[in-house]
């Protein structure tokens, strides 16, 4: 053979090997062989046949024998066609065809499957859809590929609908492949034991997989033992599979439930279970549901596995317990080892305990399902009637709390017996002529979906009802009349055509399953009932239990609890923080910014950073006192903490635990525009970072997770290994880049803000140079503070109907929520659209007053509409929130009630989209939206409209004009000012302060308190003028005033406000000795003052009173509280010339006052003044907030207070910042005063005392120079007051200085 031939042969051999290996690798996937065409006619059965030529054996696809297919005798929904495949087979597809040459075909059908020809199970698509689409004619073939293959021996098709012009006609084919398996049967006293080989394992990954079937709702499937008496148990309990962790050998050992999966697993059908362990991570899969849990390290390797029971280590006998498994296992694999096959061949690794059979016994239990309002089962009473009484036994399961189980007449008493469920309890009533002769009740919680046994017996004058025998309850009585049955017994309901003659049901119908019916100890053959050979029935599913657990898996999100009836489920969202039919939508805002723009003020709020996403809401303080809105996240130590040398270690480390969880912190930092955290180090002979070239003495960890090593300090940039002074080139020692690195004996500090978001928050801190003699230090890591919500203001402007933005496909298969804000002047347009092959989702403005949410998930298009009473094209922001889940769809517009549309009970519920998501338009570029869309979120994820708009023609990033929507939030003459991202309220012309100019400013006055506001000094007007004095003050001549203030006092008489003039004119507002308000005007210095007295009494009663005074020329109006307005007139000319100053409280310059007014002014004012406003001037506000920059002189004690507050607290969150910043303290020792400092050293105390004495002496000498005209006293009630610090240690020791509210710096005074 030449070289070429050899190479060719080698290539052919390789290709052949590759083809064979490919076939072997994918053999399980290639499973589509026809299964029915080769079967004998005896493999087919049916409910009936029209004739011999219409028999079931002719129902083969594309065959024309006989009448060309199967047709039953009657065309109704009680017919069926059954195929016996000869053995268990994997079925992957079903095809149907009508009867050849006829008008007979199915348009819809159900597919049932079984291993035994009994106990049928319905195949469902998406766990909900039961009906398959059929044919549209007699010849075409409709094939349906099963989403999940079925393994069964028997198939049954049940017609639902057919050609209305014909009758039921069917030919069919199924596709699949043979199925082989290893099976073992367990009788409750048998088990398998597999001992793992000792020694090191090749891999830490272990997989156990199996299938099981059982009629018992409890039993141990697997038990794995690890090290240190730790074990895992996979146990069936009440039809659910539990994964249990035990510590100890005995059953009384501590048990922890790790996870619960599955439901109704005692249905005698095969269920798949897989346990996959990788180190300490374990995945548990039950059918299509999966959960992941953490397990202890002691279970990272297993020593032995027990199957079917818990086998005691070292014992050779099975451990007998009621908890043992009773049923069948199939294909039990451990890491690809077939344990059942090993047990068959007596392999030494697997020990068989007890009577394990290698086959599966199939007990026949025929159940019947009552599906709806017309369901009933009628049995003749003759077989149950006897003079001795009656006996009825059965088992039932249901989710409904109420329903009729059984009723029959009492022929001898002309009465009726009702056995029914009410409030999940079993009740018996016997009525006669509308009167209850007797009532009994037993049991509770009978709507749990479990099988419950029921017995009704009347023997020897004793009537008994019993539920669940020993485990349940029993009730009995001795009636004075015999209890026997009439002609019929009715189970579940009554025939509709009966009209109440033989059967009356005043209760709900029963929806659920029954089995094991016996009458007078004789079992009822339900197959005979199905064949119409016994009794009667309607709308029953016989030989199956069609119960569905709609709460497994639960569609209730975010911890909502699921409950159900036979047809629907309900989610209880209480205390979850979420709302909606499935607890999907968060009830909280996503940021402090969002709360602020709903009109809220500073306080603690629940923040849900990702809306409907998986991150839990968190309680966060929102500081809204500044122009920026800050989110403040605390940790376990924001105090200034002292560090002293210690013999324990050479380094000091600190770890910071935050009030928010890791994923919450990351989301907050990511969505905020800016974040910062104070990092301060106070030092005396304690170096910090050394030099950028050398190894740092100290460092910190910051960023996500445990954090990354950081060697820069507050105020510097990442990677610089410098402090703030190093960047600014002003360190104490020019050779170093931190003040503390100068290594001096005097106190120094390196402080600043960390603003690099990737390095935040600070996780831990390590200080290294603290052990040398004389070394002292203190550090402070402030709270994490973030402002700005990038998501809230993210917007795009669409200026053409043909413009749009596109994003990747929206994935909201089971739950989809969409929220956004829009503003427009157009009357219609599509906000959002995403298409699939058939499915779609769309939100649009259909008219100037209506928004429509439409979608299709396979059940046909549905629409939810909300109509607004006001136009929506008013160029103001409007909010849209749409949600669609498996239960309903809802649409909410602004604060209008939500409109909802229920989903079909048994319809499709997976939303399947595959195109791009279009925003502001559609794929066809028709009906586009013109205007702004903002803060667009899909399932809690914000789409970055601005980033996409920057590269898209016809769309602009951002959207101005927020004051049109939010300007009303600015109160009390506050002015709305536009910003690129939002707005703020300028309170410069308002007597109020706060984010919305809503917070009143009050002060407590003592008799010696005086606040004097000077309008203009004379030299300011006259230094460049040679006019006469009368013209100097011409611009300060008033022809009217607007005055408003609030006060609280018990003093009378009392002077509230005094305005003086350079011409000896004045205005005085006072409370006279009769507790009435008095207004004095002296507008002509040649005449006496005019006195205007209000009729309102008792103004010095200690209550808060509000006064508003308006003068225009000689006309004056006075309004006090809610009293009627009082009008006055002046006799003077109405001009108030050359006003000089306004005084609150005591008037010190009283030379120009009348004698009685001078005496009154000398008394001063004791009480509270609030929100004082004189024209455009707020003198009290100037004194409290800006005493150094405004023309105000304060003498005597003045304390900011809340004494002027009379409004109740904000129902959402009170204005309360003290709990974050009220850390009082002072520094007078030359050291930082911190809560951690505790010393009883006499020597240190003496030094401190000397230093204090020196400092106080210096302060006393310099005090006269520091305070020339003003003297300001503020007590601890004044927010923002700073403790006086030591000259030796000039650093603020306030524990949380950055959270102290400060007012808007843009306010001004004239």
pLDDT digits (tens, 9 = 90+) for 200-257: 655 678 899 999 999 999 999 999 888 777 888 999 999 999 999 888 666 566 788 9
Q: How much is the pLDDT for 1161?
A: 86
Strands annotated E in 967-1104? 975-979, 982-986, 1002-1005, 1010-1014, 1040-1048, 1054-1061, 1066-1071, 1077-1082, 1090-1093
What distances in angstroms separate CA 674 from CA 95, 630, 670, 983, 1248, one per listed residue?
62, 10, 9, 17, 41
Q: Using one digit for the tens of pLDDT, what is the confidence trace for 680-705?
A: 999 999 999 877 777 889 999 999 98
Q: State the pLDDT at residue 769.
A: 87
Distance CA 995, CA 850 (A): 34
pLDDT value, residue 161: 95
pLDDT for residue 382 = 57
What pLDDT sits at residue 401?
Answer: 95
Predicted local distance difference test score (pLDDT) of residue 981: 77
Residues linked to residue 415 through DSSP beta bridges, in sequence order: 410
Length of the chain equals 1310
1260 pLDDT band, cuts 50/70/90, is very low
Q: Which residue reads 């050979």 in tokens?
A: 533
Task: Kindly calculate the radius of gyration of the chain based on its CA atoms and give it in whole angstroms.
Answer: 43
**pLDDT tens digits for range 1287-1310:** 344 344 333 333 333 333 333 333
Give the pLDDT confidence score for residue 294 in this predicted structure: 87
| Residue 23 clears pLDDT 50, i.e. is over it | no
The whole-number average pLDDT for the span 1091-1114 is: 93
Residue 571 has pLDDT above 50, yes or no: yes
Break the chain down into helix, strand, coil percent, rounded to 5. Answer: 10, 40, 50
Half-sphere exposure of 1078 (CA within 13 A, CB side): 19
pLDDT at position 525 over 80: yes
pLDDT reading at 1020 higher than 90: no
**Span 102-114, average pLDDT:** 95
Task: Give the integer Cα–Cα distance in Å for 131 and 125.
Answer: 8
pLDDT, tens only, 372-397:
889 999 999 855 445 567 899 999 99
Q: Is the pLDDT of residue 1100 over 90?
A: yes
* Collapsed DSSP state (helix, strand, coil) of residue 42: helix
Question: How far apart, in whole angstroms, are the C-alpha atoms of residue 986 and residue 809?
Answer: 43
Q: Which pLDDT band, with edges at 50, 70 and 90, does 1206 fall under? A: low
On whether the CB atoms of residues 257 and 243 are closer than 8 A, the answer is: yes
What mean pLDDT do residues 300-318 have?
75
pLDDT at 1258 (0 to 100): 38
Residue 27 has pLDDT above 70, yes or no: no
Q: Please, how many CA atoms are within 13 Å of residue 102, restricted to the half-sphere of its CB?
A: 25
Question: Is 1207 exposed, middle or buried, given 0-12, 13-18 or 19+ CB atoms closer than 10 A?
Answer: exposed
Q: Which of 194-198, 314-318, 462-466, 1244-1248 has the lowest mean pLDDT?
A: 1244-1248
DSSP string for residues in 883-907 = EE-SSEEEEEETTSPPEEEEPPTTS
pLDDT of residue 13 exceeding 60: no
The pLDDT assigned to 215 comes to 92
| Arithmetic mean of pLDDT, 15-20 | 36
- Number of C-beta neighbours around residue 975 at 10 A: 16
More confidently predicted of 26 and 166? 166
Q: Lowest-confidence range among 157-161, 307-311, 629-633, 881-885?
A: 307-311
Q: What is the largest CA-CA distance in the chain?
A: 141
At residue 315, the pLDDT reads 58
Half-sphere CA count of 358, side-chain side, radius 13 A: 13
What backbone phi and psi angles, to 5 degrees, belong to 487? -70, -30
| 439/518 Cα distance (integer angstroms) | 23
Can you tell me the mean pLDDT for 1013-1025?
56
Q: What percent of the chain has pLDDT over 70?
A: 85
Q: What is the pLDDT of residue 510?
A: 96
Q: What does each C-alpha distance from 64 to 57, 95, 106, 175 come to in angstroms?
A: 11, 16, 17, 20
What pLDDT score was predicted for residue 534? 93
Query: What pLDDT score was predicted for residue 498?
Result: 67
Reported as a pLDDT band with limits 50, 70 and 90, residue 314 is low
The residues pairing with 90 across neighbouring beta strands, listed in sequence order, are: 151, 177
Q: Mention every residue, 6+ apart, whose C-beta is less than 8 A from residue 897.
A: none
Cβ neighbors of 306 (< 8 A, separation 6 or more) are 191, 192, 193, 220, 222, 223, 224, 225
Average pLDDT, the chain: 83
- Contact criterion met (CB below 8 Å) for 370 and 363: no
**762 vs 966, which has greater pLDDT?**
762
CA 211 from centre of chain: 36
Residue 176 has pLDDT above 80, yes or no: yes
The top-scoring range by mean pLDDT among 59-73, 291-305, 346-360 is: 59-73
String of b and e for 78-113 (b: at least 16 CB within 10 Å)?
A: bbbbbbebeebbbbbbbbbbbbbebebbbbebbbbb
Supply the pTM of this predicted model: 0.77
């Amino acid at each position: 053979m030449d070289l070429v031939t050899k190479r060719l042969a080698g290539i052919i051999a390789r290709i052949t090997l590759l083809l064979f290996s490919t076939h072997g690798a994918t053999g399980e996937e290639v499973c589509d062989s026809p299964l029915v065409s080769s079967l004998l006619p005896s493999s087919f059965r049916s409910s009936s046949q029209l004739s011999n030529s219409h028999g079931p054996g002719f129902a083969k696809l594309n065959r024309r024998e006989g009448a060309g297919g199967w047709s039953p005798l009657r065309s109704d929904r009680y017919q069926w066609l059954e195929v016996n495949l000869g053995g268990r087979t994997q079925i992957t597809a079903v095809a149907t065809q009508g009867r050849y040459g006829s008008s007979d075909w199915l348009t819809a059908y159900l597919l049932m499957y079984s291993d035994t020809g009994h106990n049928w199970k319905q195949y469902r698509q998406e766990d909900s859809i039961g009906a398959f689409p059929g044919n549209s004619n007699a010849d075409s073939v409709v094939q349906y590929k099963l989403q999940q293959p079925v393994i069964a021996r028997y198939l049954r098709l049940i017609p639902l609908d057919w050609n209305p012009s014909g009758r039921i006609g069917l030919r069919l084919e199924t596709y699949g492949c043979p199925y082989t398996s290893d099976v073992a049967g367990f009788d409750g006293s048998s088990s398998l034991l597999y001992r793992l080989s000792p020694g090191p394992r090749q891999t830490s990954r272990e997989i156990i997989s199996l299938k099981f079937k059982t009629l018992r709702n409890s039993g141990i499937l697997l038990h794995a033992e690890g090290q240190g008496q730790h074990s895992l148990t996979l146990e069936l309990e009440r039809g659910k599979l539990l994964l249990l962790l035990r510590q100890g050998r005995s059953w009384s050992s501590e048990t922890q439930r790790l996870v619960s999966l599955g439901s109704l697993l005692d249905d005698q059908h095969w269920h798949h279970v897989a346990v996959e362990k990788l180190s300490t991570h374990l995945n548990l899969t039950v059918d299509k549901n999966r959960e992941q849990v953490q397990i202890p390290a002691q279970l990272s390797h297993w020593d032995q596995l027990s199957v079917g029971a818990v086998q005691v280590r070292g014992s050779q006998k099975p451990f007998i317990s009621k908890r043992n498994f009773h049923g069948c296992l199939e294909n039990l694999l451990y890491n690809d080892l077939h344990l059942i096959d090993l047990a068959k061949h007596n392999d030494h690794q697997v020990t068989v305990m007890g009577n394990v059979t290698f086959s599966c016994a199939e007990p026949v239990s025929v159940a019947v399902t009552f599906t709806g309002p017309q369901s009933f089962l009628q049995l003749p009473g003759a077989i149950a009637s006897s003079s001795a009484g009656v006996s009825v036994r059965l088992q039932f399961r249901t989710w409904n709390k109420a329903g009729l189980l059984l009723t029959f007449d009492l022929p001898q008493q002309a009465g009726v017996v009702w056995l029914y469920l009410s409030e999940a309890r079993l009740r018996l009533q016997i009525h006669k002529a509308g009167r209850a002769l007797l009532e009994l009740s037993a049991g509770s919680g009978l709507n749990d979906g479990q099988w419950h046994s029921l017995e009704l017996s009347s023997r020897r004058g004793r009537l008994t009802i019993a539920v669940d025998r020993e485990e349940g309850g029993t009730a009995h009585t001795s009636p004075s009349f015999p209890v026997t049955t009439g002609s019929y017994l009715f189970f579940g309901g009554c025939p509709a055509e009966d009209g109440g003659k033989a059967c009356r049901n005043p209760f709900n119908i029963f929806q659920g399953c029954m089995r094991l019916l016996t009458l007078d100890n004789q079992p009822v053959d339900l197959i005979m009932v199905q064949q119409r050979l016994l009794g009667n029935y309607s709308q029953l599913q016989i030989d199956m239990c069609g119960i569905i657990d709609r709460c497994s898996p639960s569609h209730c999100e975010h911890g909502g609890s699921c409950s159900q009836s036979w047809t629907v489920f309900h989610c209880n969202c209480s205390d979850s923080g979420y709302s909606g039919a499935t607890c999907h939508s968060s009830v909280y805002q996503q940021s402090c910014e969002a709360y602020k723009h709903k009109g809220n003020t500073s306080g603690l709020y629940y923040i849900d950073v990702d809306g409907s996403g998986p991150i839990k809401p968190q309680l966060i303080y929102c500081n809204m006192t500044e122009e920026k809105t800050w989110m403040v996240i605390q940790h376990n130590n924001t105090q200034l903490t002292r560090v002293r040398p210690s013999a324990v270690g050479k380094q000091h480390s600190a770890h910071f635990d935050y009030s928010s969880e890791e994923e919450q912190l990351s989301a907050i930092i990511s969505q905020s525009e800016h974040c910062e955290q104070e990092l301060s180090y106070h030092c005396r002979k304690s170096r910090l970072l050394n030099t950028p070239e050398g190894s740092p003495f100290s460092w910190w960890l910051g960023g996500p997770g445990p954090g990354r090593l950081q060697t820069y300090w507050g105020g510097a940039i990442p990677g610089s290994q410098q402090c703030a002074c190093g960047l600014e080139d002003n360190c104490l020692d020019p050779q170093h880049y931190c003040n503390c690195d100068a290594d001096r004996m005097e106190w120094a500090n390196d402080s600043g803000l960390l603003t690099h978001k990737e390095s935040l928050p600070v996780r831990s801190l390590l200080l290294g140079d603290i052990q040398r003699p004389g070394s002292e230090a203190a550090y402070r890591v402030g709270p994490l503070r973030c402002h700005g919500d990038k998501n809230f203001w993210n917007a795009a402007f669409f200026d053409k109907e043909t413009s749009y933005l596109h994003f990747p496909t929206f994935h909201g298969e089971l739950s989809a929520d969409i929220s956004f804000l829009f503003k427009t002047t157009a009357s219609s347009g599509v906000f959002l659209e995403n298409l699939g092959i058939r499915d779609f989702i769309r939100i649009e403005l259909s008219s100037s007053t209506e928004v429509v949410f439409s979608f299709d998930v396979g059940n046909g298009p549905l629409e939810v509409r909300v109509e607004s009473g006001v136009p929506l094209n008013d160029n103001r922001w409007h909010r849209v929130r749409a949600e669609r889940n498996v239960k309903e769809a809802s649409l909410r517009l602004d604060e209008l009630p939500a409109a909802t549309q229920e989903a079909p009970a048994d319809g499709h519920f997976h939303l399947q989209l595959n195109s791009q998501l279009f925003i502001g338009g559609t794929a066809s570029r028709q009906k586009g939206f013109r205007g702004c869309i903002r803060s667009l979120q899909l399932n809690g994820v914000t789409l970055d409209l601005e980033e996409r708009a920057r590269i898209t023609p016809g769309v602009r990033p951002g959207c101005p004009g927020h004051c049109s929507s939010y300007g009303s939030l600015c109160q009390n003459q506050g002015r709305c000012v536009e910003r690129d991202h939002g707005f703020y309220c300028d309170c410069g012309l308002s007597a109020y302060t706060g984010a919305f100019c809503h917070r009143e400013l009050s002060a407590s006055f003592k008799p010696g308190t005086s606040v004097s506001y000077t309008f203009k000094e004379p030299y300011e007007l006259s230094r460049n003028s040679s006019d006469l004095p009368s013209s100097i003050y011409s611009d300060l001549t008033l022809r009217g005033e607007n005055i408003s203030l609030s006060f609280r006092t018990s003093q009378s008489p009392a002077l509230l406000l005094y305005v003086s003039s350079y011409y000896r004119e004045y205005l005085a507002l006072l409370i006279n000795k009769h507790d009435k308000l008095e207004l004095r005007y002296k507008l002509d210095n040649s005449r006496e003052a005019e006195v205007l007295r209000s009729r309102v009494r008792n103004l010095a009663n200690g209550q808060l009173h509000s006064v508003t005074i308006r003068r225009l020329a000689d006309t004056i109006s006075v309004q006090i509280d809610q009293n009627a307005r009082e009008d006055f007139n002046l006799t003077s000319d109405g001009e108030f010339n050359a006003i000089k100053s306004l005084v609150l409280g005591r008037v010190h310059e009283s030379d120009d006052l009348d004698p009685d007014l001078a005496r009154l002014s000398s008394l001063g004012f004791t009480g509270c003044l609030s929100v004082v406003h004189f024209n455009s001037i707020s003198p009290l506000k100037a004194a409290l907030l800006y005493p150094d920059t405004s023309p105000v002189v304060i003498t005597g004690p003045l304390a900011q207070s809340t004494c002027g507050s009379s409004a109740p607290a904000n129902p959402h969150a009170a204005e309360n910042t003290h709990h974050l910043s009220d850390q009082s303290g002072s520094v007078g020792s030359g050291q930082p005063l911190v809560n951690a400092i505790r010393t009883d050293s006499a020597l240190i105390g003496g030094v401190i005392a000397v230093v204090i004495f020196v400092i106080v002496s210096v302060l006393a000498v310099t005090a006269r120079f520091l305070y020339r005209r003003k003297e300001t006293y503020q007590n601890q009630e004044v927010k923002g007051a700073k403790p006086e610090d030591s000259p030796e240690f000039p650093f603020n020791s306030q524990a949380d200085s950055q959270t102290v509210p400060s007012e808007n710096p843009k306010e001004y005074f004239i």
